[in-house]
Structure 1
Amino acid sequence: MEFMLWYCIERISPYPLQGVETDHQKPEIAKIKTEHTSVRKDSEDWKTTKKVGSLLGSKEDIEHRKHLSKIAFNKLTNIWKSGNKRKQKTKIKLYNSLVKSVLLCNCDIWALTQTDEDRLDSFHRKQLRNTLGIRYPTIISNASLYKKCREAPLSMQVLEARWRLFGHVLRRDRNIPANKAMLFYFSDNKRARGRPQTTLPITLNNDLKKLVATKLELTTQTYLDSLRLIAEDRPKWNALVAEIRKTAEAARSDDPAS
């Protein structure tokens, strides 16, 4: 939860410095209950809390984004069904601009499991097929579909966005809330019983563990400082992100289900 919060804080903290003014016509009203209520330690009500347009829970936000993208997609039904009146290239451009942008809004704060990635990719492919009017009994492989649309699996796009934002946070001043929250995260050695939930640091660490040559991790403050040094050198950081994506894509190609 801490990492999700500091990512959301990072998104809104620089805005006043850039001269962005608040739109008073679009306020977010938060209701605070003053009556006494019992709070359970395992309560997960925070996951459905909306901040900066996203729900704090990754799974909850993904489902929310899917729902919004379906609405955006259905509004363009006449375009998708226009047949040969519009080129496929034009349809894909419209899809990326008006639908995929809704689906991927704030995707860089998602902590995804392998199952989450597979479901997200499946949802994306279904929309691509509907965009091009490919329906049963017409069959097209996943690889051919991506090539035809000049697209990559959505999970790979989310991975790259996740690391771009992480690098941006690491390059910021250490006194901003985001970096202070990281210090708190690694200083807390207590761990609850059972299997830990998939969080952003766990997802980032899983990405790093696939890089056998670098031996980088995200499990201690020392490793975090090492990543911070790399992030300060943009060419090195971009090379690291490219290598992470390349390794992830290679792992997908070895998976017969992909």
Structure 2
Amino acid sequence: MRPVWNNQNIHWKTKIRLFNTNVKTVLLYGAEIWKRTRRLDQSLQVFINKCLRQVLRIRWSEKISNQDLWARTGQQPVTNSILQKKWRWIVHTLRRTQPNIARQALDWNPQGQRRKGRPTNSWRRTLDTELRKIRMSWGEAKAMAMDRTRWRAVVKALCSDRGEED
């Protein structure tokens, strides 16, 4: 995409739209089921910031904060984007009929210890941790998933405090 970013005949807003539709979507494809780590989030954010700075033709000598960069381009931190995708996918799966295998997989919670060398947290355990931050249990989240307006408020609460640590 470097020739597009360097092309001075294309307006920067068009470049941002191209970035969102072509680069960011491919980069975050399937991110809703990733087991995220701080290192992964940081590498994704660094790549996105680098692309945005190329689009806006901001050189390394020009100091601009990430928040200013995101405000100029209408972006949000990558952690928010991934969390929104993740919780939208979860609610989509929870609204399916009961015999659906994806819905059954969300309810499955393996017990016991993990093998030596494996991460202590699983994807499912991260869900419970995120829900605990807003003082909600998995059962309450499943019940609330059927009400779309209340669920939007839950997703907003889950994603609201993200990105300030960058």
The answer to whether the superposition gives a TM-score over 0.5 is yes
2:88 partner amino acid: R
Q: Is the 8 A contact 2:114 2:120 kept in 1?
A: no
Match of 2:93 in 1: 169
Q: CA deviation at 1:196?
A: 3.8
1: distance between equivalents of 2:19 and 2:77? 15
Q: Does 1:81 align with 2:6?
A: yes
Post-superposition Cα deviations, 1:75-125, rounded to whole Å, max 9, x if no partner, equal x32221123x22211111111122112112122111212222122111211
Q: Is the 8 A contact 1:113 1:198 kept in 2?
A: no
2:42 to 118, 121, 141: 118
SS at match of 1:91: helix
1:102 partner amino acid: V
Post-superposition Cα deviations, 1:180-211, rounded to whole Å, max 9, x if no partner, equal 2234x32x422236674443212222322322
Q: Is the 8 A contact 1:209 1:216 kept in 2?
A: yes
Alignment TM-score, normalising by the size of structure 2: 0.88
**Which of 1 and 2 has higher RCO (CA within 8 Å, sep 6+)?**
2
Match of 2:160 in 1: 246
Match of 2:136 in 1: 216
Match of 1:137 in 2: 61
1: distance between equivalents of 2:140 and 2:129? 17
**RMSD across aligned positions (CA):** 1.9
2: distance between equivalents of 1:77 and 1:243? 37
Q: CA deviation at 1:233?
A: 0.9
Q: How does 1:1-258 map to 2 (within 5 A)?
A: 76-83=1-8, 85-183=9-107, 185-186=108-109, 188-192=110-114, 196-211=119-134, 215-217=135-137, 223=138, 225-248=139-162, 252-253=163-164, 255=165, 258=166
The structure having more radius of gyration, on CA atoms, is 1
Q: Is the 8 A contact 1:80 1:131 kept in 2?
A: yes
Q: Is the 8 A contact 1:210 1:247 kept in 2?
A: no
1:78 partner amino acid: P
Structure 2: tracts of 5 or more residues without a match:
none
2: distance between equivalents of 1:151 and 1:77? 20
